[in-house]
Amino acid sequence: MPTRNVNLTDDQDAFVEEMVKSGKYQNASEAMRDAVRGLQQRWREDELKLELLRKSIDSGMADLENGNYDDMDDAGLESWLAGTGTPAGA
């Protein structure tokens, strides 16, 4: 297994030590590997969120280009934003 030297802040080091002392992890390496797994998971989730956002943008742009939208005045927008979902004048 590759070895890395990592610089931690005093607070981070104390946290790792507390996790080991509490029995949550057997040693600091185990705690750090779990931290990296958490970082990997967060990156995967962020990538999925970005992919969904891009698809939503593409879908919205296609709707605009195809005329699939409703014109709304200020009152209608306020009503929709308030959660009624009913544009004024509809």
CA distances from 13 to 1, 23, 58, 63 (A): 22, 16, 45, 52
Any domain includes 26 = yes
Query: What's the confidence (pLDDT) of residue 88?
Result: 57
Q: What is the pLDDT tens value at each position of the chain, 90 positions in all?
A: 899 999 999 999 999 999 999 999 999 999 999 999 999 999 999 999 999 999 999 999 999 999 998 888 998 888 888 887 565 555
Any domain includes 5 = no
Query: What's the confidence (pLDDT) of residue 86?
Result: 62
Query: What's the confidence (pLDDT) of residue 70?
Result: 85
Tell me the residue range of the domain where 41 lies.
Answer: 10-81
CA distance 64 to 57: 11
Any domain includes 17 = yes
How many domains does the chain fold into? 1
Q: Is the pTM of this model over 0.75?
A: no
Neighbours of 16 (CB within 10 A): 20
